[in-house]
Amino acid sequence: MSASDSLDPIAEVETVHALLSTWLGTDAEPDVLERFAATQHATFSMVTMDGTRLSSSELLSGLRRARNSAPGLDIEISEAEVLLNEGNVTVVRFMERHHRDGKHADRWSTVVLTTEGNPSRYSWRVLQETAAPAD
């Protein structure tokens, strides 16, 4: 039994992406970005679809300037599966579909979540995005 057994990693993914789509797709209040930032581990990093590696501070710096930069954006999460749930580490792979202006773009994402330091909530440690083929 792992420390994160009482937590729902798929709900975590959906909640964080709801915050992100609210921030990018509306004239959101600053607390939306603050709540998004609070989900990240101190050593968070990600690799974007184009291969760019970003630290938490780099990602958040870009996001601060991106409020309502994609009006109407909706991010749909599907095909989520827990690949690993051992100790304080959970790995989830999922499909992100970004809807905007009647179009969509898909990406596969894999996130490493940890309960290290706080077993009552997840922290995002690593995120890898990969472009999915257009349908």
Q: What is the pLDDT of residue 1?
A: 46
How many domains would you assign to the chain?
A: 1
- Is residue 121 in a domain? yes
Q: Please tell me the predicted confidence (pLDDT) of residue 2.
A: 54
In a domain, 28, yes or no: yes
Which pair of tokens denotes residue 5? 């057994």
- 2 falls within a domain: no
- pLDDT of the chain, 135 residues: tens digit per residue: 454 568 999 999 999 999 999 999 999 999 999 999 999 999 999 999 999 999 999 999 999 999 999 999 999 999 999 999 999 999 999 999 999 999 999 999 999 999 998 999 999 999 999 999 987
Coil, strand, or helix at residue 43? Answer: strand
Q: What's 94's domain CATH number?
A: 3.10.450.50
4, part of any domain: no
